[in-house]
Amino acid sequence: MTTSLNDAGTLMSYEMAEQPAVLTRLAARAATDMSAVRELVPDPPVGIVFVARGSSDNAAVFGRYLAELHTGRPAGLASPSLYTRYRAQVNWGGYLVIALSQSGATPEIVSTCAQAQAAGATVIGITNEPGSPLEEVSNLLLSTDAGPERAIPATKTMTAQMLLVATVVAAIAGQETGPETAELPAAVRSVLRDQHPVDELAERWRDIDRLIVTGRGLAYAAALEIALKIKETTGILAEGISTADLRHGPIATAFAGSPVLLINAGGPAAADIKELGSMLNVRGGQAALLPLSTSLPEPAQVIASVVRGQQLARALALANGIDPDSPQGLTKVTPTT
Q: What is the pTM of this model?
A: 0.94
Confidence at residue 42, expressed as pLDDT on a 0 to 100 scale: 87
For residue 32, the SS3 value is helix
In a domain, 336, yes or no: no
For 137, residues 6+ apart whose C-beta sits below 8 A from its C-beta are: 99, 110, 113, 114, 117, 123, 125
Residues 218 and 148 in one domain: no
Q: Where are the beta strands (DSSP E) in the chain?
A: 47-51, 75-77, 95-100, 122-127, 140-143, 210-215, 237-242, 260-262, 287-289
Residues 68 and 93 in one domain: yes
Tally of structural domains, the chain: 2
Residues 189 and 164 in one domain: no
For 62, residues 6+ apart whose C-beta sits below 8 A from its C-beta are: 162, 165, 166, 218, 221, 222, 299, 302
Question: Would you give the distance in Å from CA 57 to the centre of its chain?
Answer: 7
Using an 8 Å Cβ cutoff, are 170 and 179 in contact?
A: yes
In a domain, 337, yes or no: no
Confidence at residue 4, expressed as pLDDT on a 0 to 100 scale: 46
Q: What is the CATH number of the domain that holds 134?
A: 3.40.50.10490
Confidence at residue 139, expressed as pLDDT on a 0 to 100 scale: 98
Confidence at residue 331, expressed as pLDDT on a 0 to 100 scale: 63
Confidence at residue 5, expressed as pLDDT on a 0 to 100 scale: 46
Confidence at residue 329, expressed as pLDDT on a 0 to 100 scale: 63
Q: Which of 172, 201, 233 is the last residue of a domain?
A: 172
Residues 160 and 203 in one domain: no
In a domain, 326, yes or no: no
Confidence at residue 82, expressed as pLDDT on a 0 to 100 scale: 96
Confidence at residue 37, expressed as pLDDT on a 0 to 100 scale: 98
Residues 151 and 220 in one domain: no
State phi, psi for 60 to the nearest 5 degrees.
-65, -40
Query: Beta strand 95-100 with 75-77: parallel, antiparallel or unpaired?
Result: unpaired
In a domain, 333, yes or no: no
Domain that holds residue 143: 5-172
In a domain, 252, yes or no: yes
Per-residue pLDDT of the chain (337 residues; tens, 9 = 90+): 344 445 566 899 999 999 999 999 999 999 999 999 999 998 989 999 999 999 999 999 999 999 999 999 999 999 999 999 999 999 999 999 999 999 999 999 999 999 999 999 999 999 999 999 999 999 999 999 999 999 989 999 999 999 999 999 999 999 987 788 889 999 999 999 999 999 999 999 999 999 999 999 999 999 999 999 999 999 999 999 999 999 988 888 888 889 999 999 999 999 999 999 998 888 777 899 999 887 899 999 999 999 999 999 999 999 999 999 887 766 656 677 7
Confidence at residue 333, expressed as pLDDT on a 0 to 100 scale: 63
Residues 12 and 151 in one domain: yes
Confidence at residue 1, expressed as pLDDT on a 0 to 100 scale: 37
Using an 8 Å Cβ cutoff, are 194 and 201 in contact?
A: no
Using an 8 Å Cβ cutoff, are 98 and 137 in contact?
A: no
